Structure 1
Amino acid sequence: MGRKLPQFIAATCVCIGALGTGTVLGWTSNITDDLKKGKLNDLKMNDDQLGWAGSAMTLGAMVMCFPIGWIADILGRKITVLLTVFPFTIGWLLIISAQHEAMVYVGRVLTGIGGGSFCVCAPLYTSEISETELRGTLGTFFQLFITIGILFTNVFGYVLPMMAFNISCAAVPIAFAALFFFQPETPVWYLRKDKAEMAEKSMRKLRGERYDFTGELKLLQADIENEKKMTKFSEAIKTKAAKKATIICFMLMFYQQLSGINAVIFYTREIFEAAGASLAAHWCTMIIGVVQVVATVFAAWSMDKLGRKILLCISCGVMGFSCFLLGLFFSLKNHEVLDEGGIKNIGFLPILAMILFIIGFSVGLGPIPWLASSEIFPPEVKAKCSSAAATFNWFLAFCVSRFYLNVANAIGNDITFYIFAVICVTGIAFVLFVMPETKGKSFAQIVAELEGAAAAE
């Protein structure tokens, strides 16, 4: 554990910032009733305004994903991650002091800018400080801390007054900056900037004084020298490996968002209330948050043991089944197939389905799409293509979070969840036949496999 401990500490510190992203994502999950009642500075928000308040953060995230990769290449991973504190903090201050719903929307957009930036930078930082055998485990820390942030909002959104709750959310990015400030820049970035001495100091801090990292540093240097000889982006994107990596990453983002996860995260309480669950909606929301954290811990433990593909297949299968159960429950309830007593007898079903859904998401479709973006893109296209994939992800997140309630009202919440179920199940075939396994492989080996697989087609 000697040389691994500094890597775990650095990954943990950077991913504490993801806790801030989780608070932004989960902000509405347990306070919608309070927002409707005007407990945010006497602002009473209707369902349409709540839809914009919930989804506005995805617009900020989507806008920032492209430039943040370029900024991280120029300023460095560490400085760029620390800069996210500013939009986070200003956004929360606007929400805390809001006198009009427009201030809430702008605050949500700004916190979304911070969250979207973090979704690109944190996995990049983690992948560049990690040894190959730790990359999968440390890569899941990002999703783990997002789930902890969502649980934070589930609990404190219920137990704290509105003002105290928002202040506690604003404190998270400030605490992150204080902790992460003392962590090193990645040795990979230093090497790309021809700062070999600084790269050595960074590696020494990340591996420990007693570990001989000379060989590892030479391999990184060789990879970077090869990068410098590579073609421009406009030519590199035409290679078979780049094309296939792009398809894989974009489709994983598609399956992550069109599984319905943001409908569940943003509107957990509404779903339980619509289902008439036998347990109070706010308790159901907290239970879901706890389950998500526990399941993501399991994913962190199993990522480098079981591999990405098997976890994704399990994830898609479990989520598809749980969406079917939710759809079935709403069909029985909405079409009055069962009387009120019968519905009450199966009131546990939406809770069970949501728990299964969150478990499935947390072990696969939650962490792996973000990890894949940092693993499988060839180095000469990684920054731009990862940003493009993240932008696509947040665009889909906006569509789902903004229009879920509208679609559910128009075609029925049962049909909506049946659609989510079908999408999840098709993800199994995609993973089995298209995605390569990246467990325990170097970046060069992954790119070579993509070239070979593409050639074979």
Structure 2
Amino acid sequence: MGCVDKIGASSASVIRDSSVSVVLCTLIVALGPIQFGFTGGFSSPTQDSIIHDLNLSLSESLMIAAIPNIIGWLAISFANDSSFLYMGRLLEGFGVGVISYTVPVYIAEIAPQNMRGGLGSVNQLSVTIGIMLAYIFGMFLPWRMLSIAGTLPCIILIPGLFFIPESPRWLAKMGMMEDFEASLQVLRGFDTDITVEVNEIKRSVQSGTRRTTIRFTDLKQRRYSVPLMIGIGLLVLQQLSGINGILFYANNMFKAAGVTNSQAATCGLGAIQVIATGVTTWLLDRAGRRLLLIISSAGMTISLLIVAVAFYLKDAVSHDSKFNFILSVLSLVGLVAYVISFSLGIGAIPWIIMSEILPVNIKSLAGSVATLANWLTSWVITMTANLLLSWSSGGTFTIYTVVSAFTLVFVIFWVPETKGRTLEEIQWSFR
């Protein structure tokens, strides 16, 4: 970690070496989101088998799939009834809740400003890889074996954490100044002058810790209220667009659309999501966060509208098999376009922006609140997705369309561009 050739290193090689150090740290912590994504994707290929083998009702299956997860795979694997599944999902949910917040914050705090967007999106890229792996393995492995496979990312992650440095900004906030500078030097390269960055971080930490206790009345100040509103708003709207309902129940949705091999289609959807998120990783530090969010939410609105119209028409002309086939293809294209659009912005960027805009003295509390809001919304969407689809497929996608349209308006009027600015500059701008 941070192995830099000190003798005769050119400035270019220093940049490369420091970049490698940050990238390695990012890749290690990214094992957590892979576990996160595998957990999310686990429901789609396994729900029919689980319901059949354990004689579960629809409501029991919904509850199990709704609770996010990370460390209860063995409890799930050895389940004899629904109580083991509840326990496993609850344990996993605690771990995923921690990972979903700490990983993007850690990456944002260690990354240089010119790499922060791309590295930050590795978090969501890892989630999509985890989902895709769950889909693919779900085609070949029984659900008990699949849950054992879900333990692998964490088994690799735990020893990897011993080889990465602590976040410099966290160390500075804790008053551990020697460790703070040492950690930053490792991340930037031993021959890099970190004086300017050290002074910026110290100034930001000193400003943020003059008052050690934040009262609720303080949150009304613009420096706190605006980033809180933006961070929580984006994370809630991300889930209200229906993404987890669609991904968790992708198999059922493809069946409803008339696709014969729904599991293969679901795997293809997972692969498309990985590719689209990879493109976002490349674009983030070039195009900027705000532009990608606008393109993403606009694309989601249009594609969800196409799916809604296709399902409405399919219900209206159920007697015409040829026309139904065309509508099935149209709804499938709309779903794929929706996942691509989501992956281009709304999937990754809200977590990045949240980790960038929250002031250091409220980051833990505010970040926890934002993450809780995200997961509660995810729980609601996952709980209601199948029930809404049973009520009306067209109506379900109409609701998601309206939310995506509102997301577009929210981004245009409220979300600032954070590309190319240090965390300290971003947080000072809200003052």
Corresponding position of 2:48? 33
Q: Which residue identity is paired with 2:38?
A: T
Contact 1:284–1:351 (CA under 8 A) maintained in structure 2: no
Corresponding position of 1:259? 241
Q: How many angstroms does 1:429 deviate by?
A: 1.5
How many equivalent residue pairs? 415
Corresponding position of 1:436? 416
Aligned pair partner of 2:147 in 143, 166, 174: 166
1:228-286 deviations in Å (ceiling 9; x for gaps): 22463115412112111121112212210111101111100010111112x51001100
Contact 2:45–2:138 (CA under 8 A) maintained in structure 1: yes
Corresponding position of 1:351? 332
Q: How many angstroms does 1:392 deviate by?
A: 0.7
* Whole-angstrom CA distance in 1 between matches of 2:180 and 2:426: 24
Corresponding position of 2:386? 405
Residue range with higher mean Cα deviation, 375-384 or 345-354 = 345-354
* Whole-angstrom CA distance in 2 between matches of 1:192 and 1:379: 8
- The percentage of counterpart residues that share the same residue type is 29
Secondary structure, aligned partner of 2:415: coil
Q: How many angstroms does 1:223 deviate by?
A: 1.7
Q: How many angstroms does 1:10 deviate by?
A: 0.5
Corresponding position of 2:9? none
* Whole-angstrom CA distance in 2 between matches of 1:224 and 1:246: 19
Aligned pair partner of 2:251 in 259, 269, 273: 269
Q: How many angstroms does 1:379 deviate by?
A: 2.2
Q: 1:163 to 1:409 in 2, by over 3 A?
A: closer
Contact 1:24–1:112 (CA under 8 A) maintained in structure 2: no
Contact 2:108–2:116 (CA under 8 A) maintained in structure 1: yes
Contact 2:208–2:359 (CA under 8 A) maintained in structure 1: no
1:383-415 deviations in Å (ceiling 9; x for gaps): 2111111111111111110111122223x1101
Q: Which residue identity is paired with 2:425?
A: Q
* Whole-angstrom CA distance in 1 between matches of 2:308 and 2:203: 53
Secondary structure, aligned partner of 2:421: coil
Corresponding position of 2:62? 51
TM-score by length of 2: 0.92
Please tell me the root mean square deviation across aligned C-alpha atoms, in Å: 1.6
Alignment of 1:367-386 (within 5 A): 367-386=348-367
Secondary structure, aligned partner of 1:160: coil
Contact 2:76–2:144 (CA under 8 A) maintained in structure 1: no
* Whole-angstrom CA distance in 2 between matches of 1:193 and 1:422: 44
Residue ranges of structure 1 left out of the alignment (5+ in a row): 61-87, 452-457
Runs (4+) of structure 1 moved beyond 3 Å? none
Alignment of 1:115-264 (within 5 A): 115-230=96-211, 232-234=213-215, 235-264=217-246
Q: Which residue identity is paired with 1:256?
A: Q
Corresponding position of 2:288? 307
Alignment of 1:278-293 (within 5 A): 279-293=260-274
1:332-371 deviations in Å (ceiling 9; x for gaps): 2222266112112343222211211111111111111111
Aligned pair partner of 1:395 in 376, 389, 406: 376
1:426 and 2:399 matched: no
Residue ranges of structure 2 left out of the alignment (5+ in a row): 1-15
* Whole-angstrom CA distance in 2 between matches of 1:195 and 1:345: 64
* Whole-angstrom CA distance in 2 between matches of 1:414 and 1:226: 52
Corresponding position of 2:31? 16
Alignment of 1:66-105 (within 5 A): 88-89=70-71, 91-105=72-86
TM-score by length of 1: 0.87
Q: How many angstroms does 1:23 deviate by?
A: 1.1
1:285-313 deviations in Å (ceiling 9; x for gaps): 00110011111111111111111111111
Q: Which residue identity is paired with 2:356?
A: E
Corresponding position of 1:454? none
* Whole-angstrom CA distance in 1 between matches of 2:142 and 2:415: 46
Q: How many angstroms does 1:205 deviate by?
A: 2.3
Secondary structure, aligned partner of 1:159: coil
Q: How many angstroms does 1:201 deviate by?
A: 2.5
* Whole-angstrom CA distance in 1 between matches of 2:265 and 2:310: 16
Q: Which residue identity is paired with 2:245?
A: A
Q: Which residue identity is paired with 1:29?
A: S
